[in-house]
């Protein structure tokens, strides 16, 4: 327990400072008028309005992956696909992932839309197009997906493409409409010359592996529950601090006045008295 000696109304540390205070709750120096504090002032704060009920809204999700392993890449049809043309497309069998049915489609000769410019068509003829098709029964299935070209050489990284971060979620359905799509993907996934150069690892021994990673989201579901009551301390700060002073509980300093001992708390003395704030923050003892 640290000690500050107070004898006959004077405090002794390294020098003599006169004081007429007789209570550790009201401390002054000879050059400062007494300051009267009310401990209730310390606890005045805005009380938050209690939350009585909480609504939680979430959507369940499922994640899975499918792979299309093509063992004879050079034998695939290589016609450039324009619009709805069927030639030049190669489909996997229907596979299951994330609780639904899917297909991967690959167009080695590339894909372009009828509205594309001639310059765009020529560029896309140089690329391999890869798409994910929905074969399930949902009319509107919110989905995030990515397409990966698996690198088959040790130490070389896969090539993965996602939807843009501005629109990461697409809605698949049984029909193409303004709000749903049966198939979606990347018409310029990778340059065909880069894929077919086996030193790059995308095609090894005429084998190509395409993976689709799929996350589907269910309907939004809400639950309502009573909020857990927040702890609100009783408005008894004044009596609590007085009780600590009278009992000496958790005290870390003692004041001696005319032979009497008063146990106190440094943090309270520093907060309530500029003199003790200066005393405790200096080298004075």
| Contact assessment for residue 229 and residue 237, using Cβ atoms and an 8 Å cutoff | no
Q: How confident is the model at residue 17 (pLDDT cuts 50, 70, 90)?
A: very low
Over the stretch 198-217, which tens digit does the pLDDT of each residue have? 999 999 999 999 999 999 99
The pLDDT value recorded for residue 112 is 96
Give the C-alpha separation, 180 to 131, whole Å. 15
Closest CA to 151 of 108, 103, 190, 107: 190
Q: How confident is the model at residue 108 (pLDDT cuts 50, 70, 90)?
A: very high
Report the DSSP beta bridge partners of residue 133: 103, 183
Closest CA to 151 of 193, 108, 110, 207: 207
Q: pTM score, two decimals?
A: 0.61
Find the distance separating the first CA and the last CA of the chain, reported in whole Å. 13
The pLDDT value recorded for residue 47 is 66
Higher pLDDT, 24 or 279: 279
């Amino acid at each position: 327990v640290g000690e500050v000696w107070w004898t006959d109304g004077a405090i002794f540390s390294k020098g003599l400072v006169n004081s007429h205070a007789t209570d550790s709750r009201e401390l002054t120096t000879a050059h400062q008028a007494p300051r009267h504090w009310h401990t209730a002032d310390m606890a005045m704060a805005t009380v938050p309005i209690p939350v009585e009920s909480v609504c939680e809204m979430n959507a369940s999700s499922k994640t899975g992956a499918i792979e299309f392993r093509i063992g004879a890449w050079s034998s695939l049809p290589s016609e450039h696909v324009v619009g709805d043309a069927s030639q030049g497309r190669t489909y996997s069998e229907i596979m299951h992932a994330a609780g639904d049915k899917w297909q991967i489609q690959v167009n080695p000769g590339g894909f372009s839309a009828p509205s594309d410019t001639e310059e765009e068509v020529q560029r896309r003829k140089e690329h391999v197009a890869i798409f994910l098709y929905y074969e399930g029964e949902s009319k509107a299935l919110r989905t995030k997906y990515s397409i990966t070209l698996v690198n088959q050489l040790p130490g070389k990284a896969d090539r993965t493409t996602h939807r843009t971060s501005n629109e990461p979620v697409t809605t698949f359905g049984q029909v193409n409409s303004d709000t749903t799509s049966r198939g979606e993907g990347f018409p310029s996934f990778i340059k065909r010359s880069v894929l077919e150069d086996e030193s790059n690892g995308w095609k090894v021994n005429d084998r190509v592996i395409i993976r689709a990673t799929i996350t589907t989201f269910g309907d939004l579901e809400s639950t309502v529950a009573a909020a857990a009551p927040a702890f609100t301390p009783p408005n008894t700060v004044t009596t609590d601090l007085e009780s600590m002073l009278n009992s000496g509980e958790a005290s870390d300093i003692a004041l001696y006045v005319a032979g009497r001992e008063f146990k106190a708390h440094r943090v309270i003395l520093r907060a309530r008295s500029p003199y003790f704030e200066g005393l405790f923050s200096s080298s004075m003892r």
